[in-house]
Structure 1
Amino acid sequence: MKIRIKGNSLRYRLTKSDIAQLGNDGFLEDRTEFTGKTLNYAIMITDDDNLTSDFTGDKIRLNLPRKMIEELINTEKVGFMDQTGPVSLLVEKDFTCLDNTEEDQGDNFPNPLLTC
């Protein structure tokens, strides 16, 4: 799971195993360790209808409706957008990059812009 924060937008990118774990466990969490402080970020499956988020203590949590994770698992749907107050939210499948990168992309989804 990757997060990208830019201004008032929050974007979660999920690999194949991230989506599988969310489908099975209903929860996914990771963290970034800073000197003396940790930023936690998570996704929790909810029975709500809308994508929402909250920031409490040192944790950013995205609340993902069950119907959305089921679509990510069972269809070609790429992602979902919504807004919580001033924060724009996006959760999407993580595709392989089109350019050369050192990052391990073995668990990413095939990029639909690549032709074989």
Structure 2
Amino acid sequence: MKIRIQRNSVRFRLSKTDVEQLGTIGYVKEATAFGTSHFYYAVKQDPASETLSAEFANGMITVFVPATFTKDWAANNVVGIDANVPLDEQESLYLLVEKDFKCLDNVAEDQSDNYENPSKTC
């Protein structure tokens, strides 16, 4: 799982294994070590919700995805789900959870667990 944060936008990209785990176990979590501290990020099923939501607590970002979405996600062609979550009258938080596709250019990272890219060019 990868995370990209820019201002009030948080984007999660999930590998095939991540998407399958989210659909079966209901939870995917990663950590990045900063010396003795860790930054955690997770995606979790939410059976009571119809839209994305998120929380930040104890050094961890958790994005909650409707369980109805994750149920068949691994087997279908839906790329992802997104939402603008209001924070107050002026600001919102954009959330995106999507399948991670293989890059079309030369990349040094292991992409063997990523989805085939439906595009043939960048």
Question: Which TM-score band applies after superposition, normalised by the shorter structure?
Answer: over 0.9
Residue identity over aligned pairs, in percent, reads 39
**How far is 1:28 from its partner?**
0.8
Long gaps (5+) in structure 1: none
State TM-score, norm by structure 2. 0.89
Decide which moves more: 62-71 or 6-15.
62-71
Decide which moves more: 31-40 or 89-98.
31-40
CA distance in 2, matches of 1:109, 1:16: 6
Per-residue CA deviation, residues 78-115 of structure 1 (Å, 9 max, x unaligned), is 01110222210000000000100000000000000128
Structure 2 SS opposite 1:112: coil
Residue 94 in structure 1 maps to residue 100 in structure 2: yes
CA distance in 1, matches of 2:110, 2:36: 28
1:71–1:77 CA contact under 8 A, matched in 2: no
| 1:36-51 correspondence to structure 2 within 5 Å | 36-47=36-47, 48-51=49-52
Q: CA RMSD of the aligned region, Å?
A: 1.3
Long gaps (5+) in structure 2: none
Equivalent pairs counted in the alignment come to 115
**How far is 1:71 from its partner?**
4.3
- AA paired with 1:49? E
Decide which moves more: 80-89 or 45-54.
80-89
